Structure 1
C-alpha cells in the first residue's frame, strides 16, 4: 500500500458529491447499508423505453471513500444498461477484493480508490452505489416490464 488511503484525490472526489440528490418520481428507490460501518445509500432510478438509465438520484451517508465512489458513479450512471452496471460493479469488486485492474474507459476515474484494497472494512462502503443501482435497476425493470 504505497498511497495514503484518504489522499487528496479521494477527498476532492468526495467534495464533489451532492449528498441529497433524490429524484421526485423514480420508478425504483432502493436503500443499501453496509453492515460493517453503517454507511448507506438510497438510489432512485428511472429507465427509458429501451432499458437504459434515464435519470439517477441518490442520498448518501458514508465515509469519504463511499462519498467518492458515489460522486464518480453519479457522473457516469445515466445512459447505462443493466449489463454495463453489472460489469462495472463486478470490476470494482474484483479491483478491491482480488487486486484486479481498475475499470477502464469512462469509469477509469475509479482507479483513485485502489488504495482501499488493503482496507477490507472499507470495501462495502465503496461498493454501495454499484450494488444499490443494480438492485434499483431490477426493481424498475420489473415495474415497467423491461430489463
Structure 2
C-alpha cells in the first residue's frame, strides 16, 4: 500500500462521521470532577467533567480539541459512558492501549466500536490523542470518588 492509501484507510468515513457527531460534547456546570489531559506530541487536549453516583457516572461532558482520531475515540466513549463504573472505564482504557501498542483486540462491550481505530496502530504519533478521553475519564472518576469519600 502507498502512504496515500494508508492515510485514506486511517481517516475512514466511519472515523470522520464519529468525529463529526460527538455525544456529550458540552462541559458540565459544577461537576464533581474535571480533568484536562494533553498529548504533548500533537497538542490534542480533552477536558472531561463528570459526576459519580453509587459508583457510576451519572453526568458527563467533554471538550475535545484533537485530530479526527482523538475525536472519534472520544465519540465512541461518549456513546456509552453514562452508567459506567471505574472498573469498566479502566478496562476499556487498558484494552485500547493494548490494541494500539500490542495488537490486542479492541475494547468490548459496553465500549464496542473501537475496531474502527485499528488502522492507527501503525501511527504511534496518534496513540496519545486516541487515549486521551479514556485516560481523562478514568482520572476524573478517581477524583470524584475520592471527593465523595472525603
TM-score tier, shorter chain, comes to over 0.9
Match of 2:114 among 110, 116, 137: 110
Give the TM-score, by structure 2 length.
0.91
Residue 90 of structure 1 pairs with residue 103 of structure 2: no
Are the equivalent residues in 2 in contact too, given 1:19–1:60 (CA < 8 A)?
Answer: no
Give the TM-score, by structure 1 length.
0.93
Residue 22 of structure 1 pairs with residue 18 of structure 2: no
Mapping for residues 120-135 of structure 1, pairs under 5 Å: 120-135=124-139
Shift of 1:17: 1.8
- Report the equivalent of 2:147: 143
Q: What is the Cα-based RMSD across aligned positions, in Å?
A: 1.7
Structure 1 runs of 4+ off > 6 angstroms?
A: none
Judge which range, 117-126 or 101-110, deviates more. Answer: 101-110
CA distance in 2, matches of 1:27, 1:62: 24
Q: Give unmatched runs, 5+ long, in structure 1.
A: none
Judge which range, 15-24 or 80-89, deviates more. Answer: 15-24
Match of 2:84 among 76, 80, 83: 80
CA distance in 2, matches of 1:116, 1:41: 19
Shift of 1:105: 2.3
- Report the equivalent of 1:51: 55
Are the equivalent residues in 2 in contact too, given 1:70–1:129 (CA < 8 A)?
Answer: yes
CA distance in 2, matches of 1:54, 1:34: 27
CA distance in 2, matches of 1:58, 1:106: 19
Shift of 1:129: 0.4
Q: How many equivalent residue pairs?
A: 145
